[in-house]
Homo-oligomer: A and B are copies of this chain.
Amino acid sequence: MQLPFMTWAESEAQIRKDPLVIVPIGSTEQHGPNGLIGTDALNAEAVAIAVGKATEAMVGPVVAIGMAQHHLAFSGSITLRPSTMIAFISDYVFSLARHGVRKFFFINGHGGNIAPLSAAFSEIYATASLDPSGQVPRVRCVQHNWYDQKSVRAYAAQAFGDRDGSHATAAEVSLTQHLFPDSIRRVNMPPVAKAHRRFTDAIDLRSLHPDGRIGSEPSLATPAHGKALFEAALADLSPALRAFRDEP
């Protein structure tokens, strides 16, 4: 049940029944030598659609551009500044709140989004928190990173050990390969070097991680691993959504 593929009358009926929406959010940024620039958005959207199907929940349009300032030294990366993301997510949420949606279940595919998305939630909540009249509609927002689900972590640990890494990971590249087998790239790459500290801005990240991998060996990625990871994510996120839906 994807909102873009519904009519307004169907949306109205669905929200009346279940005032909840899943929002996939990813990023458009470099993913190392063999990862696709759209990895984070493609993965988040696919997982979200599957979770929506499994739980009969409505899925909103994917937020395909995230907070990726740190990847801007690599071609193709696009960022929203955090202040832009706050405005964007606020408009998204308040628009659907206008139609009666009260719960927003974000499925996130990109670590760089966690903080600004959380900041956006606080900016949204502050409207009600600062309002003494009690007239502002109140909403509830949560974010879940598909790659951080317990089952996903467990599978990745078993499959890749400490070579999964933290960006352009073997796990996320596997998932994209499973979803888009026609877009698999075969690229030779040397063993990744471990960085001794965390990056700051884009130039800094590239100087520490010259080919875009952060501690990862995405050459280990396979579509089969991707399929397993996809199912693991679905297995954890579906009950999480149902629990969120059932909250009073």
Residues of A within 8 A of B (CB): 2-9, 11-12, 15, 28, 30-38, 41-42, 60-62, 64-65, 67, 69-70, 72-84, 86-88, 90-92, 94-100, 112, 114-116, 118-123, 125-126, 128-133, 135, 137-142, 180, 183, 185, 187, 197-198, 200-204, 212, 247
Q: Say yes or no: B212 contacts A130, CB within 8 Å.
A: no
Q: Say yes or no: B129 contacts A97, CB within 8 Å.
A: no
Q: Say yes or no: A65 contacts B76, CB within 8 Å.
A: no
A203 → chain B closest CB, angstroms: 7
- Enumerate chain B residues within 8 angstroms of A78, measured Cβ to Cβ: 60-61, 91-92, 95-96
A108 → chain B closest CB, angstroms: 13
Complex alpha-carbon distance, A189 and B233, angstroms: 42
Q: Say yes or no: B87 contacts A83, CB within 8 Å.
A: yes
Q: Say yes or no: B123 contacts A81, CB within 8 Å.
A: yes
Complex alpha-carbon distance, A133 and B61, angstroms: 26
Known contacts A15-B75, A64-B61; is-contact A83 B84 (Cβ 8 Å): no
Q: Say yes or no: A75 contacts B12, CB within 8 Å.
A: yes
Complex alpha-carbon distance, A32 and B118, angstroms: 24
Complex alpha-carbon distance, A139 and B204, angstroms: 10
Complex alpha-carbon distance, A125 and B219, angstroms: 30
Q: Say yes or no: A79 contacts B119, CB within 8 Å.
A: no
Known contacts A12-B76, A98-B130, A123-B82; is-contact A7 B37 (Cβ 8 Å): yes
- Enumerate chain B residues within 8 angstroms of A125, measured Cβ to Cβ: 69-70, 200-202
Which residue of B has the minimal Cβ distance to A197? B247
Complex alpha-carbon distance, A38 and B119, angstroms: 22
- Enumerate chain B residues within 8 angstroms of A31, measured Cβ to Cβ: 7-8
Q: Say yes or no: A82 contacts B122, CB within 8 Å.
A: yes
- Enumerate chain B residues within 8 angstroms of A81, measured Cβ to Cβ: 87, 91, 122-123, 126
Q: Say yes or no: B99 contacts A8, CB within 8 Å.
A: no
Known contacts A87-B87, A200-B141; is-contact A76 B130 (Cβ 8 Å): no
Q: Say yes or no: A64 contacts B67, CB within 8 Å.
A: no
Q: Say yes or no: B84 contacts A65, CB within 8 Å.
A: no
A120 → chain B closest CB, angstroms: 7
- Enumerate chain B residues within 8 angstroms of A83, measured Cβ to Cβ: 83, 86-87, 123
Complex alpha-carbon distance, A243 and B66, angstroms: 31
Which residue of B has the minimal Cβ distance to A176? B5
Known contacts A3-B76, A28-B3, A76-B12; is-contact A84 B82 (Cβ 8 Å): no
